Amino acid sequence: YQRRVHGGALAYLSMGSDSCYAKSVNRKFFVGGNWKCNGTLDSIRTLSEALNKGESIESKPVEVVVSPPFPYVQYTRALLRKDFSVAVQNCWIGKGGAFTGEVSAEIVKDLGIDWVILGHSERRHLPQLKESDETVAVKCQYALEKGLGVIACIGELLEEREAGLTRKVNERQLAAIAARVKDWSKVVIAYEPVWAIGTGKVASPEQAQEVHEQVRDWIATNVSDSVAKSVRIIYGGSVTEKNCAELARKPDVDGFLVGGASLKPEFLSIVDSYKQ
């Protein structure tokens, strides 16, 4: 594969590949920052001021979205540079109502927020939450219907990888989403091997590319060739300024969902990996 920049979009050209849907595609690089349950008014102001000093990405072939905790969403939006978008980290499965503690997609849109992260491994696997594949899929469907862009997370546990189940787990999680999603134009798939999230371990560029290619193959077979060509598949799992460039060079790695490093000014270096 060879990646080139053409008229503000990234073009990936297959070099000797048998994959018909990967021969010529345009996918805008995508970098998400998941701040998780972190931050204060002071720290978010300081971080926003640091991020605002980076070079403009207007008209550049990269899209950037950061996701603060719910109470800080509008505060962050007011402080942060306008060429970065803001996401929430979760939303409810449907319309608002008597659902104490939940936030509906309609409320998120009313706040002027355009993106939501759904199906993150912490929400799938934390014993206090344990969201099922079906719950994640329903959330994706409803959020998309209400006009939100969705960063849909998939990924395997360490024991699943060691048992050779990586592909099976990812395809199971994808199948639940695909059964409910019709329009993929506002979906970004985030592959996050659970064993690499916050552990300092990171999938090698070759491991990441292998899984991303499998995901794209599955979409081509089970959704459509056109979606396989256009959908962005990003990598998450201890992404830093030191390892992002090598990962970004892989033809099926269309960006990153960044955890801890998104809370630091070095996030700008990860954004710059779109230039690779």
Q: Is 159 a catalytic residue?
A: no
Output phi, psi for 134, to 5 deg: -70, -40
Angle at the Cα of 35 from the Cα atoms of 173 and 242, rounded to 5 degrees: 90
Out of 122, 160, 171, 192, pick the active-site residue: 192
Q: Which of 120, 122, 131, 212 is catalytic?
A: 120
Asked if 192 is an active-site residue, the reply is yes
d(CA 155, CA 170): 6
Q: Which residues are catalytic?
A: 120, 192
